[in-house]
C-alpha cells in the first residue's frame, strides 16, 4: 500500500481519507485549522462527519508540506479555493499527480479543475476524481463507484489501482473535459430540480428538467471537446441522477429552499451557484443555447423570480427532441 496526501479536511476529503486508510494506505489529511487538527488527533473524530471514527492509518496535519510529501495528492478543497491553493504551493506540487476532487468552474477564469492545475501548477500532472457520491456514504463504507480521469491512459490505470478499495470502485477515463463538464453542470441542474420541488411544481416537472438538463450538459461538454459517451457515465448521468433526487445534495437542497421561499442563504460549498454564472457567461460568448443554466444564474442573482423562470421555460418554442 502507498502513502497518499489529501488537502482539504471537509466532509468529502475526510471521507476519502477514512476509506483509503481502512484499505491499508497511510493517509495524511491536511487542514488549515491547527486547532481542528489537534482535536481530530485527540478524539479520532471529525466535526464534518459526526459518528465516523478516524482509522489509525489516517494522520491529520496542519502542515501542507507534510501532507504533500507523497507522489499522489488529492485536492479536496472547494472549487473556488483551488486556484489560490495551487498558486501558493506550486513549488511544493512539482512532479506530483494532483487529483482534483472538486466539481465546478472557476468563476474568475471560467476554467475547470484540470485546466486550473495545468495553468497554476504546470510541473504537476492533473487528474480528476468525480461521480455520484455522498461523503457520509463513503465514510460509512457503503459501496460507491466513481470515475478517475487522467489524460494518459497509463496514469489513469495506475491511479485506478492505487485509489480503488473493496467498496470504493473506480472506473478510469482519459476524457478530462467530459468528466469535468459532467461534475460541474450536474450541480446547476440539481439547483434547478430543487427549485421545481420547492416551488411545488411536481415530480413530473423534475423529471422533464433533469432530462433537458442532461441535454444541456452534453451540448456544453461536446463544445469543450468532450466525448458524448462520457456524459452517459458515472461522472455525468450518474452524478446527475443522485444530486437531482436527494435531499443530501447541497445544490438540490439550496434550490429547494430557493423555490419555496424565493431566496436562500448562499453557502461556499454550493458549487452550482458559481458554476451557473461561469457557464452561462461562457455559453453566451460561444453562442451555445443553455436555457436552464441561464435561468439558474438569473435566479441566484435575483434577476428573475421562480414564477418568471418557469414561465420562460414553458413558453419556449416547441421543437424536436
List the CATH number of the domain containing 80: 3.40.50.720
For the chain, how many structural domains are there in total? 2
In the chain, the N- to C-terminal Cα span, in Å, equals: 49
Q: Tell me which of 124, 140, 174 is where a domain ends.
A: 174
> Do 83 and 231 belong together in one domain?
no
**pLDDT confidence band for 267 (50 / 70 / 90):** low
> Do 239 and 164 belong together in one domain?
no
Question: Does 190 count as an annotated binding residue?
Answer: no
Average pLDDT of every residue of the chain: 94
Q: CA 59, CA 61: separation in Å to the nearest integer?
A: 6
Q: Tell me which of 174, 202, 235 is where a domain ends.
A: 174
Q: CA 14, CA 135: separation in Å to the nearest integer?
A: 8
- Residue 135, C-alpha cell as written in the block: 461523503
pTM: 0.94
Dump pLDDT digits (tens) for 224-247: 999 999 999 999 999 999 999 999
Q: Tell me which of 152, 174, 196 is where a domain ends.
A: 174
Q: Is residue 289 part of a domain?
A: yes
Q: Is residue 117 part of a domain?
A: yes
**Whether residue 317 has pLDDT greater than 80:** no
> Do 189 and 165 belong together in one domain?
no
Whole-angstrom Cα Rg for the chain: 19
Q: Is residue 246 part of a domain?
A: yes
96 tagged catalytic: no
Q: Is residue 192 part of a domain?
A: yes
Q: Packing angle between helix 176-198 and helix 250-261, nearest 10 degrees? A: 30
Q: Is residue 319 part of a domain?
A: no
Question: Does 87 count as an annotated binding residue?
Answer: no
Question: Does 12 count as an annotated binding residue?
Answer: yes
| Structural domain containing residue 278 | 184-314
> Do 139 and 217 belong together in one domain?
no
Q: Is residue 179 part of a domain?
A: no
Calculate mean pLDDT across residues 19-43.
96
Q: CA 80, CA 113: separation in Å to the nearest integer?
A: 10
Question: Does 248 count as an annotated binding residue?
Answer: no
pLDDT at position 320: 73
Residue tagged active-site, from 96, 186, 248, 256:
186
> Do 87 and 164 belong together in one domain?
yes
Question: Does 194 count as an annotated binding residue?
Answer: no
> Do 105 and 193 belong together in one domain?
no
pLDDT at position 269: 66
Q: Is residue 321 part of a domain?
A: no
Q: Concatenated DSSP letters for 78-103?
A: -HHHHHHHHHHHTTTTTT-EEEE---
> Do 285 and 166 belong together in one domain?
no
Question: Does 119 count as an annotated binding residue?
Answer: no
Dump pLDDT digits (tens) for 166-202: 999 999 999 999 999 999 999 999 999 999 999 999 9
Question: Does 218 count as an annotated binding residue?
Answer: no
**Whether residue 264 has pLDDT greater than 80:** no
Burial classification of residue 12, based on how many CB atoms lie within 10 Å of its CB (0-12 exposed, 13-18 middle, 19 or more buried): buried
Please report, for the domain that includes residue 214, its CATH number. Answer: 1.10.1040.10
Question: Does 32 count as an annotated binding residue?
Answer: yes
> Do 111 and 188 belong together in one domain?
no
> Do 152 and 197 belong together in one domain?
no
Dump pLDDT digits (tens) for 91-127: 999 999 999 999 999 989 989 999 999 999 999 999 9
Question: Does 103 count as an annotated binding residue?
Answer: yes
> Do 106 and 24 belong together in one domain?
yes
Q: Is residue 104 part of a domain?
A: yes
> Do 206 and 167 belong together in one domain?
no
Calculate mean pLDDT across residues 52-81.
96
> Do 25 and 159 belong together in one domain?
yes
Amino acid at each position: 500500500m502507498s502513502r497518499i496526501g489529501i488537502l482539504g479536511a471537509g466532509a468529502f476529503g475526510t471521507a476519502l481519507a477514512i476509506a483509503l486508510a481502512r484499505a491499508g494506505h497511510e493517509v495524511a489529511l491536511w487542514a488549515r485549522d491547527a486547532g481542528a487538527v489537534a482535536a481530530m488527533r485527540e478524539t479520532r473524530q471529525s466535526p464534518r462527519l459526526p459518528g465516523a471514527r478516524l482509522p489509525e492509518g489516517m494522520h491529520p496535519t496542519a502542515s501542507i508540506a507534510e501532507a504533500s510529501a507523497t507522489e499522489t495528492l488529492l485536492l479536496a478543497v472547494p472549487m473556488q479555493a483551488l486556484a489560490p491553493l495551487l498558486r501558493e504551493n506550486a513549488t511544493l506540487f512539482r512532479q506530483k499527480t494532483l487529483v482534483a476532487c472538486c466539481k465546478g468552474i472557476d468563476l474568475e477564469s471560467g476554467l475547470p479543475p484540470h485546466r486550473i492545475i495545468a495553468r497554476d501548477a504546470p510541473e504537476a500532472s492533473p487528474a480528476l476524481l468525480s461521480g455520484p457520491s455522498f461523503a457520509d456514504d463513503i465514510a460509512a463504507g457503503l459501496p460507491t463507484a466513481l470515475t478517475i480521469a487522467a489524460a494518459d491512459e497509463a496514469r489513469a490505470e495506475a491511479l485506478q489501482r492505487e485509489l480503488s478499495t473493496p467498496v470504493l470502485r473506480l472506473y478510469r477515463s482519459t476524457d478530462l473535459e467530459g468528466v469535468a463538464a459532467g461534475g460541474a453542470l450536474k450541480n446547476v441542474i440539481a439547483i434547478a430540480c430543487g427549485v421545481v420541488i420547492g416551488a411545488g411544481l411536481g415530480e413530473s416537472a423534475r423529471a422533464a428538467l433533469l432530462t433537458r438538463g442532461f441535454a444541456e450538459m452534453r451540448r456544453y461538454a461536446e463544445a469543450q471537446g468532450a466525448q458524448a459517451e462520457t456524459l452517459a457515465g458515472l461522472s455525468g448521468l450518474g452524478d446527475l441522477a443522485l444530486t437531482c433526487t436527494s435531499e443530501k445534495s447541497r445544490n438540490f437542497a439550496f434550490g429547494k429552499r430557493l423555490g419555496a421561499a424565493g431566496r436562500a442563504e448562499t453557502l461556499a460549498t454550493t458549487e452550482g451557484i458559481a458554476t451557473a454564472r461561469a457557464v452561462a457567461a461562457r455559453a453566451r460568448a460561444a453562442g451555445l443555447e443553455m436555457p436552464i443554466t441561464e435561468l439558474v444564474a438569473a435566479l441566484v442573482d435575483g434577476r428573475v423570480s421562480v414564477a418568471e423562470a418557469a414561465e420562460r421555460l414553458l413558453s419556449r418554442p416547441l421543437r424536436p427532441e
